[in-house]
Every structure is written in structure tokens, then in C-alpha cells.
A and B are shown apart, each in its own frame.
Chain A
């Protein structure tokens, strides 16, 4: 059928090849860097090695120390007037603080935000890809994508690489036809809808603070303040969170 050809689905190929429907994912030993902007997603994988443990085994040898940027506290909650998102701004690479002013909220469109926690590169890349898919959806279907659908897209991307050592803890927050939407998606393919989530290494501290101050009928200022306090307390106690608090309201 013409539709099957256009979408590029191959009925009998492995599950990981059907994530996007617009192309296939390949795991190769050397990527072809010159086919940019195509629908084929290629990732280089070390030959004969198990990807998730590969880097830790390299790090023991001869001064080699490959550290990726990591660590956070982020929180988001729904209330009557919308969704509040609050994040810290620290990125650590091993024990070294790579940066204290990272922006961990990615604006997918004016009504959809994604937060980033876990590995910075993973979150940045997959959420940018999600933004591209959401834009394509909007262009093809002439209405904005729902929060549930966007979070499902991200969840399926994660499932395609399950077990390979990605680290993504993201909250997709937005406003769609059903009102405020909040979903938590992580690298195992967990996708949960809820009223309040907090992710990252400081999440326990944030949960305590926000749970004790939460009321469904807060005003917007009170909600901003609650989100800010949650992150502030988490950064106070968690070594890997810090910097400034960035808050957004949908």
C-alpha cells in the first residue's frame, strides 16, 4: 500500500526499526556522518562490547576518564490554573561541576514543555527529536499534538534503546484540549500521568516540600513560590543540584 511505503514501515523488521515510522534506526560500527537530515537514525556501537558497561570499563585505563554531564532536580505539578515547572541549573560530570547555568527546560512549542534530568546529552538530543516529531505532527494533521501523544512518542523512542544505558528522566508538560497535562517519561519506557512529579537525585527533598504545601486552588503566584521552594530545598541538601531555579508556567 502507498501509505506503508511512505511511512517506511517494514512488517517483519525488528521492533527497534519501527519507532518513528518515517525511517529505520541502525546500530552500526561506524556512522556515516555525511547523510545529515535524513530519516535514518544511525548510532555507532562498539563492536563486541555491551554498550551500557563499555564506558565504565574504559574509564579504568591509562588516565582515560570520559564523563558525561549529569544530575538534577526538576519538579512539575498541575493545579487549577495550569502546570508549574521548576528546575535547577546544575550539570556535573563525575565530581566536577561542568556548569551552574544550564537550561533544563526545552520548549517544544508554546503549549508543550519538556524537562531534562539524567544525562544532559541524552535529554537534549531526544527532546529535540521529539520537538521535530511534534512539529511534523502539527504540519500533517493541522492541529497541535496532545500531551499524551507527545509523551507516548518520547516513551517509544526510549523503548527502542532500552538496556543500552541511556539516562533520561523527563516530564512532558502542557496544555491541550483536555486541559493541563503532565506525564513523566524515563529511559525504561515508564510513562505515568499524574498530578505532581519530581525527578533527579534531589527529588525526595522536593517531594516533601511540595506535598506539604500543595493545594489545588492555589493562585499562580503561590504555585510559583511553591515550585521555587521545592527546588531550593533540594539544592540545599543535594550535592548534585544547584545553581538557580528556573520556573515556567503553562
Chain B
């Protein structure tokens, strides 16, 4: 805990000269967390899902890496995006991979997106009192082949969405998605369903905007498009400054 000694101001009693000095010793506690930046986005369509993330890994004022994507492939129909503290992201994805293998070996089938989401919720909650500092978004196809997005908070609260942004620029991207995909606050506009091409273009545009204004987002964009034919990955350059 940060501890500070009270300065002698005002405690010298009447008549004594007030002293102005540096307010004593400050203790810097070890923090188990760090913030490594990064933004993740997922969109669900009629028969596809897109998970996109930037590839910058930063800490404070430094950039550790320009090629550290935050999308991790879990199964042929599911991709997870993890942003926050990179150490916890790595451990969490290792645990999920191990649990997927265990499930496959005991049940002889691959976990569905909904099942992975429910499992992740309990994994995160088991660390309720010492959380994984990770903002997760799962994108994939559900059992009927429709796009599904599940968004999480660090301790395991989750719900199914149509689109969600998470990570450092999430507060900038989410309103833009609300407007463009959810048609919120737009009048007299036809609610056309999102096609795959339009969705990919929207994701690229949205990340270009995020890189303009968020220091922790940039360098490159990794887009994973999930369809029944598999997962297609593209990398698009973004601002490097």
C-alpha cells in the first residue's frame, strides 16, 4: 500500500513556524498487474463471424512489440480475442486450450462456441478474488451455423452479443459500432443485414479510426473471418506512431 507520512504543517501548534517540506516516504508496492494495451473487436453475421485485433504490445510509454496479435484460434469455428495484461492472456489461452483437449478426449467432440463461453465464465470466476486482468471476446459459429459473439468482463460475467469491442479503445469503437451495425440513433435508415464484405470493410475502417486516437492501438490489424469453410486470416497495416 502507498503510505505517506503527514507533513508537519499545522501540527506545530500556535506560534511555531510552519514547515513546508516533502511529505515523507512513499512506498511503492509490487503490482501483480500491468496494462499492455490492445483492442479487440468481434462482429457476428448471419453465417459468419469476424474477430479482429491490433498487434501492438505496449507498456507505459514503450512499445514491446509491433507483431503481437491478440486473436487466438481455439477450434475451427471459434476464435478468442484477449486484451489487457499480456501475461494473463497467455496463461488463460493455455488453460483454455488444455481444457478443450480434455473435453475432446472425454467427449469425442469439439466444444461448441456456447460451451466454450460458459466454460470461460467459470474459469474466470474461479479467480474472482485475484482476477485475470483480461477482457475477452469470443467470436465463432454456433451449432446452427449462425455467427455468435460472447463478451466477458474480467471475472466471468458474459452474454451473447451481435458485436462488441473490448480493450483500450473499446469506449471509442463501441459507439461507432452501435451506430453502424446496430443502427442506433439513425432515423429513416433501412436495417439491412450485414454482409461479410461490408463487415470486413467496416472493421478495417473502425480500427483505422481507433489507431488515430488511441495511443495503445496501432501497428497492424489482424482480422480473422470465421465461416463454415474455416478461418481466414488477413493482416492490414495501421499507423505505426
Contact = CB atoms under 8 A, between A and B. Distances in A.
Contacts of B76: none
A43 interface: yes
Nearest to B171: A96
Interface stretch (B43-51, B123-131, B206-214): B123-131
17 contacts: A33-B99, A34-B98, A34-B99, A36-B99, A36-B122, A43-B126, A43-B128, A43-B129, A44-B126, A45-B130, A58-B32, A61-B31, A64-B85, A98-B151, A98-B153, A99-B159, A121-B125
B151 to A, nearest CB: 8
Interface string A156-199: 00000000111000000000000000000000000000000000
Interface string B29-68: 1011111000000000000000000000000100000000
Interface string B115-136: 0000101111111111101000
A67 interface: yes
B11 interface: no
A134 interface: no
Contacts of A61: 29, 31, 33
A240 B226 CA distance: 35
Given A51-B129, A96-B171, A64 B153 contact: no
Interface string A60-72: 1111111111000
Contacts of A27: 129
Interface in A24-61: 27, 31, 33-34, 36, 42-46, 51, 54-55, 57-58, 60-61
A19 interface: no
B101 to A, nearest CB: 10
Which one of A43, A69, A91, A164 has the greatest number of beta carbons of chain B within 10 Å? Answer: A69
A120 interface: yes
A9 interface: no
Contacts of A62: 31, 34-35, 60
Which one of B129, B154, B156, B171 has the greatest number of beta carbons of chain A within 10 Å? Answer: B129
A102 B153 CA distance: 13
Given A98-B151, A99-B151, A125-B156, 6 more contacts: A43-B129, A57-B1, A68-B154, A124-B157, A124-B158, A125-B125
B208 to A, nearest CB: 22
B233 to A, nearest CB: 28
Interface of B: 1-2, 29, 31-35, 60, 85, 95, 98-99, 102, 119, 121-131, 133, 151, 153-159, 161, 170-171
Given A44-B126, A121-B155, A64 B161 contact: no
Contacts of A247: none
B129 A34 contact: no
A121 B128 contact: yes
Contacts of A36: 99, 102, 119, 122
A121 B35 contact: no
B153 A121 contact: yes
B223 to A, nearest CB: 24
Contact of A31 (B85, B102, B126, B154): B126
Nearest to B60: A62
Contacts of B151: 98-99
Contacts of B155: 68, 119, 121-122
A146 interface: no
Nearest to B159: A102
Contacts of A31: 126-127
